[in-house]
Amino acid sequence: MKLINIADADKNQKEIEFSVDKATFDAAVDKVYKKNAAKLNIPGFRRGHAPKSIIEKMYGKGFFYEDAINEILPDAYSDALKESGLDVVSRPEIDVKTIDDNGVVITAKVYVKPDIELGEYKGLTAVRENVTVTDEAVEAEINRVRERNARETEVDDRAVQNGDEVVFDFDGYTDGKQFDGGKAENYNLTIGSGAFIPGFEEQIVGHAIGENFDVNVKFPDDYHAAELAGKDATFKCVVHTIKVKELPALDDEFVKDVSEFNTLDEYRADIKAKLQSDADKAEDAKVDSELTDKLIEGIKGDIPEAMYESELDAMVRDYETRLRYQGMDLETFMKYTGQTIDTMKAQFRPQAEKQVKTRLALEKIAKLENFEASDEEIDGEYKKIAEAYNIDIEKVKETIDKDAIAADLVVGKAAQLLRDSAVLTEKKEDAPAKKPAAKRTSAKKKAESTESDETKSEEEKVSSADAE
């Protein structure tokens, strides 16, 4: 490979021109010929035994050229990119300029990382609430633990009440016809959880085991299934089982069962400390977000659309991975929620733009402040990653480039400078008690929990890394 030229193509876009010598290209042509000859049926020759010259005479001299270029391109482009020294942020647009007796000349149009300008980044202001955890919040958390450890017992001498867990069948109809997804048998539902559409659960209350009854509801106008949105529906139902929860007594024995503590007072103190720690971390994250918003407001410069698209693609891939961990694939999720890749990207777009701008701004700060990562810091980061994933440190080094580790470290230093130099105004506020989460159907739980997970912003990633 020989680098010929680097030229401006557009804003933050460069055209890299490079060549591959004839000997290397001919070798690639021969390799492709040997790989594909067996697939060609040439009259007068056994399959796979027709000479290359005969094939080229029949189909043209350039018959193998496209595959040969694909064969040499990855290494040639990689070498050209390395020699160019450009910080590329997009996939290349490849064009073959010439193929002749001197070899091949190729051009690659790429977007490069922009050199942005920053406004003030030291002394930015933010409001930090000084949250104090209340006794009510502590008791609410303890009650959630009691709920998780509650014992269920069946009752058969009364009708359904609010808070009961029922096992029932339902069969839904709209316009007198059954609809997809509207039927289930032996379905578990906690009455009052809000898992079903408004008005459904309230109508189960008062019905006894074995009783057949109708539930009449109207689907919300914004219901995710467009064919059901705004429609009246009737569900034919029958309750099979009624269960009630018996909470464990709140005493020292309960504490011993659910924790490493021996007394209720010790347990309460530990819960309060953990809630306070969580509240403080949440406030730190809010401050980081506010500082970051002010930082990126001062950015001047054109940011290539390719950087946003790359970030959006990464966010979709991350989302898909988290869905798989929950036992759901992306296609099923989109069908369930009525979404598409485009609508998902539209939702992610503000966060993607913020993350790209944040990274660029923090990298600029690191450059202005001449931050560097020492070998000791890089080795320490490798060690943390190895310990976190319980793998050999040498494997980590093989997987993650040293320069990438160093880049993240200096960005982390820039983020810390942003925090350390910030001027904070404190606001005192009590931490509210958390409300118990409503139960959801398994599919809805998977979908909603994933949908509510926001991808971490750049400053949050840095905070997480610092905490580890």
Tell me which of 218, 246, 274 is where a domain ends. 246
d(CA 287, CA 252): 39
Residues 213 and 277 in one domain: no
Based on the number of CB atoms within 10 Å of its own CB, is 239 exposed (0-12), middle (13-18) or buried (19 or more)?
Answer: buried
Residues 275 and 338 in one domain: yes
- pLDDT tens for 90-141 read 999 999 999 998 999 999 999 999 999 999 999 999 999 989 999 999 999 9
Please check whether residue 221 lies inside any domain of the structure: yes
Please check whether residue 117 lies inside any domain of the structure: no
Residues 233 and 272 in one domain: no
d(CA 355, CA 350): 9
> In the predicted model, is pLDDT for residue 223 greater than 90?
no
User: Looking at the 3D structure of the chain, how many domains does it have?
Assistant: 3
Residues 93 and 185 in one domain: no
pLDDT tier at 432, thresholds 50, 70, 90: low
For residue 65, the number of C-alpha atoms closer than 13 Å in the C-beta half-sphere is 17
d(CA 107, CA 9): 11
Give me the phi and psi of 372, to 5 degrees please. Answer: -135, 160
- pLDDT tens for 297-334 read 999 999 999 999 999 999 999 999 999 998 888 988 88
User: 172-188 burial string, b = 16+ CB within 10 Å, else e?
Assistant: bbeeeeebeebeeeeee
Based on the number of CB atoms within 10 Å of its own CB, is 137 exposed (0-12), middle (13-18) or buried (19 or more)?
Answer: buried
Please check whether residue 438 lies inside any domain of the structure: yes
CATH number, position 63: 3.30.70.1050
d(CA 221, CA 230): 4
Nearest to 245 by CA among 440, 439, 442, 446: 439
Q: In this structure, are residues 354 and 292 in contact, taking their beta carbons and an 8 Å threshold?
A: yes
Q: In this structure, are residues 267 and 259 in contact, taking their beta carbons and an 8 Å threshold?
A: yes
d(CA 198, CA 143): 26
Residues 167 and 90 in one domain: no
Residues 11 and 157 in one domain: no
d(CA 48, CA 43): 11
Please check whether residue 28 lies inside any domain of the structure: yes
Please check whether residue 445 lies inside any domain of the structure: yes
Beta-bridge partner residues of 153? 244
Residues 199 and 288 in one domain: no
Please check whether residue 133 lies inside any domain of the structure: no
Residues 432 and 318 in one domain: yes
- pLDDT tens for 18-45 read 999 999 999 999 998 888 777 777 777 8
Please check whether residue 100 lies inside any domain of the structure: yes
Please check whether residue 256 lies inside any domain of the structure: no
List, as own/partner pairs, every contact residues 170-175 make where C-beta atoms lie below 8 angstroms and the sequence separation is at least 24, other chains included: 170/215, 170/235, 170/236, 170/237, 171/235, 171/236, 171/237, 172/233, 172/234, 172/235, 173/233, 173/234, 173/235, 173/236, 174/228, 174/231, 174/232, 174/233, 174/234, 175/231
CATH number, position 199: 3.10.50.40
Given this model, what pLDDT does residue 36 score?
79
Residues 105 and 156 in one domain: no
Nearest to 184 by CA among 175, 196, 202, 198: 196
Residues 159 and 290 in one domain: no
Given this model, what pLDDT does residue 315 score?
95
Nearest to 139 by CA among 433, 410, 461: 433
Provide the percentage of residues in the chain whose pLDDT is more than 70.
91
Tell me which of 111, 142, 170 is where a domain ends. 111
- What is this structure's pTM? 0.70
What is the four-CA torsion angle of 377, 379, 383, 386, rounded to 10 degrees? Answer: 120
Query: What kind and span of H or E run contains 425?
Result: strand 423-431
Tell me which of 86, 111, 136 is where a domain ends. 111
**Domain limits at 414?**
262-467
> In the predicted model, is pLDDT for residue 356 greater than 90?
yes
CATH number, position 369: 1.10.3120
Residues 374 and 349 in one domain: yes
Residues 321 and 458 in one domain: yes
